[in-house]
């Protein structure tokens, strides 16, 4: 029997976003989990699985056990995983598969990091032996892809700007957002280079914060009296694994395989989607995800996002709480949580009558991709 | 300030030694697959013991970025500098620098090897070339 609709996100929780001096990632995880359990109305004693993404900025040995110890939980299954920014959405699907396999009953999925007040060196890191040529930073890999997309498809700066303007407009309405400043095309064009052709306003924020989900079967949620469970209709993954230089093409992503799996599992099509939360670590990522999910043809995302189509009130509103460009640079869970709010009908920028939300998470330099479809 | 240097290992030393002699080399397997960076096994068929093959030095500019910020002090005096993705005519791809004015860089432009020394390390840089090469990037 298909898993579609038989598992739910029962609760969501997050810390403040932005700069949290004197924070540590284990405490941020615990705070997010505490709030997620309260949101679900579920006691900690019901939890028997803890899935956590390792903090991007500081790897720690046996990190999953450190978080579980601080939570006072002895999990039957779980641990710390690393697929970059796609990890959270993937962990959610691993948790569902573990429950389905009878390995656990109620799972916490969580992530926290503090690169803003701590160490952000990971984003500026030398990239192996290619550092001899000056190959540094996370942004540079995306800049290589951004340029090739513009070369092959004529994607213009105003197309990339449209993505940033949508996230920034929506984030400005979100009191929890780290950056609450709408963006104009003129401001985007004047934004300084990070690594040409990527500008500051194409780039995710650097943020402290944590977030968590409570995951269980729909049946268990009924038994526990969960007030607002949101059903998971589909999920899918994809991993190219090849570094940017080794890929045969720069302009397609694992969103194609991940999306195909997720949409097939849910038995829906992109045209059925009411609202999308798309991983916007850099603006090019959103354009390529729209294409590879099939919202438009390959190379036509620039035209698709023009004229406010991805802003609230448009054809396909995206990142309605601000995404990585405005709400928090924390990789991934903010998008899942906003998908949950849209399906509950409680989002600040609610899409009226929304019944289907697609969420994407993406890791590395488009190495990994996870797709999630939520219903109500 | 010294430039970052490649880490010479038993696996990578033949690559960097060849550049010191003025040659760019890549690996090829008996199955025909050719690649960079160096590996012990063919990533296509997993057979061990690939052979080193000398590249023609001809290639194609797939994409490039321009740094306006130095992430390492050695690059501060070189700003703005480019890092480019080049596909060799034999197939393998590598990251490099194009020794040219940034305004002259163009998609799919033909490029040719230009070995340059930084201290005691020979790097495989490229220059723009007038000789066209075949294009394979359109998937």
Q: Over 70: is that where the pLDDT of A80 sits?
A: yes
User: What per-residue confidence (pLDDT) applies to B1?
Assistant: 75
Q: Which residue of A has its CA nearest to B99?
A: A133
Q: State what percent of residues in chain A have pLDDT above 90.
A: 94
Q: Is residue B138 part of a domain?
A: no
Q: Answer yes or no: is pLDDT of B131 > 70.
A: no
Residue A43: pLDDT over 90: yes
Residue A198 has pLDDT above 70, yes or no: yes
Q: Are A301 and A58 within 8 A, CB to CB?
A: no
Query: How would residue A296 be classed by pLDDT, with cut points 50, 70 and 90?
Result: very high
Total number of residues shown for chain B: 139
> Averaged over A265-286, what is the pLDDT?
98
- The reply to whether A124 touches chain B by the CB within 8 Å rule is yes
- Provide the pLDDT for residue A131: 97
Say if CB A180 and CB A204 are below 8 A apart. no
Q: Is the pLDDT of residue B138 over 70?
A: no
A275-277 and A368-375 beta bridge pairing: unpaired
Give A116-170 pLDDT, tens digit per residue: 998 888 888 899 999 999 999 999 999 999 999 999 999 999 999 999 999 999 9
Average pLDDT on B109-120 reads: 97
Residue of B63, B68, B81 to mutate, testing the A interface (most A Cβ within 10 Å of its Cβ): B63
Q: Does the residue B103 lie in any domain?
A: yes
Following CA atoms A249, A253, A256, A259 in sequence, which dihedral angle do they give, to the nearest 10 degrees?
Answer: 170
How many domains are there within chain B? 1
User: In this complex, which of A131, A140, A249 lies closest to B4 when CB atoms are compared?
Assistant: A131
pTM: 0.96
3-class secondary structure for A116-172?
CCCCCHHHHCECHHHHHHCCECHHHHHHHHHHHHHHHHCCCHHHHHHHHHHHHHHHH
- Whether pLDDT at A114 is above 80: yes
User: Contact, A204 vs A84, CB < 8 A?
Assistant: no
Q: What is the mean pLDDT of residues B59-65?
A: 98
Rounded Cα distance between A161 and A158, Å, is 5
Residue B5 lies in a domain: no
Give percent of chain A with pLDDT exceeding 70. 100
Neighbouring CB atoms inside 10 A of A297's CB total 11
Q: Confidence band (pLDDT; 50, 70, 90) for A60? A: confident
pLDDT at B137: 47
Of the candidate ranges A122-126, A241-245, A336-340, the one whose mean pLDDT is the lowest: A122-126
Residue B91: closest C-alpha in chain A? A248
Inside any domain, residue B113 = yes
User: Residues 6 or more apart from A188 whose CB is under 8 A from it?
Assistant: A157, A160, A161, A164, A165, A199, A201
Question: Which residue shows structure tokens 């500026």?
Answer: A124
In sequence order, the 6+-apart residues with CB closer than 8 A to the CB of B92 are B26, B34, B35, B36, B55
> Is the residue at B133 inside a domain?
no
Contact residues on chain B for A137, CB-CB shorter than 8 A: 71
Residues A245, B85: C-beta atoms closer than 8 Å: yes
A135/B95 touch (CB, cutoff 8 Å), yes or no: yes
Place of tokens 């697929």: A83
The pLDDT confidence band at residue A271, using thresholds 50, 70 and 90, is: very high
Q: Is residue B3 part of a domain?
A: no
**How far is it, in rounded angstroms, from Cα A255 to Cα A41?**
34
Helix, strand or coil, per DSSP, at residue A215 = strand
What domains can you pick out in chain A, each with its CATH number?
Answer: 7-119+207-230 (3.40.47.10), 138-204+232-375 (3.40.47.10)
Q: Which residue from A126, A151, A246 is facing B93, i.e. has the nearest CB?
A: A246
Cβ atoms of residues A283 and A202 within 8 Å: yes
Close Cβ partners of B32 (under 8 Å, ≥ 6 residues apart): none
Q: How far is CA A98 from CA A71, A73, A117, B28, B39, in A?
A: 20, 17, 35, 42, 36
**Is the pLDDT at B108 greater than 90, yes or no?**
yes
* Three-point CA angle A112, A116, A121, nearest 5°: 100
Tokens of A193: 């280079």
* Residue A327 to residue A181: CA distance in whole angstroms: 11
- Provide the residue range defining the domain that includes B74: 13-128
pLDDT at A205: 96
B135 pLDDT exceeds 60?
no
Question: Is the model's pLDDT at B139 over the cut of 50?
Answer: no
Instruction: Give the nearest partner residue to A133 out of B66, B93, B123, using CB atoms.
Output: B123
Residue (of A109, A322, A83, A326) closest to A214 by Cα position: A109
Measured between alpha carbons, how far is A275 from A229 in angstroms, rounded to an integer? 18
Digit-coded pLDDT (tens) for A244-267: 999 989 999 999 999 999 999 999
For residue B40, tell me if it sits in a domain.
yes
Task: Count other C-beta atoms under 10 Å from residue A77's C-beta.
Answer: 16
Q: Does residue B8 lie within any of the structural domains?
A: no
- Test B139 with A147 for CB contact under 8 angstroms: no
pLDDT at B95: 98
CB pairs under 8 A between A and B: 96
Q: Which pairing describes strands A107-113 and A49-53: parallel, antiparallel, or unpaired? A: parallel
Q: What is the mean pLDDT of chain A?
A: 96
Of the candidates A83, A356, A334, A362, the residue with the CA atom closest to the CA atom of residue A234 = A356
Q: Is residue A9 predicted with pLDDT exceeding 70?
A: yes
- Cβ neighbors of B6 (< 8 A, separation 6 or more) are A129, A132, B12, B16, B121
Q: Let me know if A313 is exposed, middle or buried by CB neighbors in 10 A (0-12, 13-18, 19+).
A: exposed
Looking at beta carbons, which residues of chain A come within 8 Å of B75?
134
Tell me whether residues A148 and B62 touch, CB distance under 8 A: yes
Q: Is residue B83 within 8 Å of residue B95, measured between CB atoms?
A: yes
Question: Which tokens go with A134?
Answer: 């000056």
Structure ipTM = 0.94
């Amino acid at each position: 029997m298909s898993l579609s609709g038989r598992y739910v996100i029962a609760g969501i929780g997050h810390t403040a976003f932005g700069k949290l001096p004197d924070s540590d990632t284990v405490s941020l995880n615990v705070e997010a989990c505490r709030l997620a359990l309260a949101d679900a109305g579920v006691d900690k004693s019901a939890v028997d699985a803890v899935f956590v993404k390792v903090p991007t900025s500081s790897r720690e040995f046996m990190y999953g056990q450190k978080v579980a110890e601080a939570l006072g939980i002895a999990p039957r299954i779980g641990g710390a995983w690393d697929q970059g920014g796609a990890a959270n959405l993937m962990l959610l699907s691993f948790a569902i598969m573990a429950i389905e396999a009878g390995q656990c009953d109620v799972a916490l999925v969580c992530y926290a990091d503090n690169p803003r007040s701590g160490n952000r060196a990971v984003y500026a890191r030398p990239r192996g032996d290619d550092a001899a040529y000056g190959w540094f930073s996370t942004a540079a890999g995306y800049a290589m892809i951004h340029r090739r997309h513009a070369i092959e498809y004529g994607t213009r700066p105003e197309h990339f700007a449209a993505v940033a303007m949508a996230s920034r407009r929506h984030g400005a309405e979100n009191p929890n957002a780290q950056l609450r400043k709408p963006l104009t095309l003129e401001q985007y064009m004047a934004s300084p280079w990070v690594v040409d052709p990527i500008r500051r306003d194409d780039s995710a924020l650097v943020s402290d914060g944590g977030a968590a989900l409570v995951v269980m079967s729909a049946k268990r949620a009924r038994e526990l009296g969960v007030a607002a469970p949101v059903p998971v209709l589909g999920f899918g993954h994809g991993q190219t694994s090849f570094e940017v230089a080794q890929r045969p093409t720069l302009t397609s992503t694992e969103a194609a395989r991940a999306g195909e799996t997720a949409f097939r599992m849910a038995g829906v099509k992109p045209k059925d989607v009411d609202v999308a939360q798309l991983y916007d670590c850099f603006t090019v990522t959103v354009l390529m995800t729209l294409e590879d999910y099939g919202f438009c043809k390959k190379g036509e995302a620039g035209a698709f996002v023009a004229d406010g189509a991805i802003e609230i009130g448009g054809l396909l509103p995206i990142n309605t709480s601000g995404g990585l460009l405005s709400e928090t640079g924390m990789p991934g869970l903010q998008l899942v949580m906003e998908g949950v709010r849209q399906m509950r009908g409680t989002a600040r920028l609610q899409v009226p009558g929304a019944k289907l939300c697609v969420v994407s998470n993406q890791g590395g330099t488009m190495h990994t991709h996870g797709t999630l479809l939520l219903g109500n | 300030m010294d430039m970052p240097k490649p880490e010479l290992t038993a696996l990578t030393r033949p690559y960097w030694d060849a550049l010191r002699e003025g040659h760019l080399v890549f690996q090829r397997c008996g199955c025909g697959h050719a690649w960079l960076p160096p590996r012990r096994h063919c990533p296509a068929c997993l057979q061990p013991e690939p052979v080193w093959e000398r590249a023609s030095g001809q290639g194609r500019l797939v994409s490039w970025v321009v740094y306006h910020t130095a992430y390492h002090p050695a690059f501060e005096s070189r700003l703005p500098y480019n890092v480019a993705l080049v596909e060799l005519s034999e197939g393998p791809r590598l990251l490099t620098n194009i020794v040219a004015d940034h305004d002259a860089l163009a998609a799919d432009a033909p490029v040719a090897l230009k070995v340059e020394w930084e201290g005691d390390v020979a790097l495989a840089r490229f220059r723009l070339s007038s000789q066209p090469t075949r294009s394979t990037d359109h998937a």
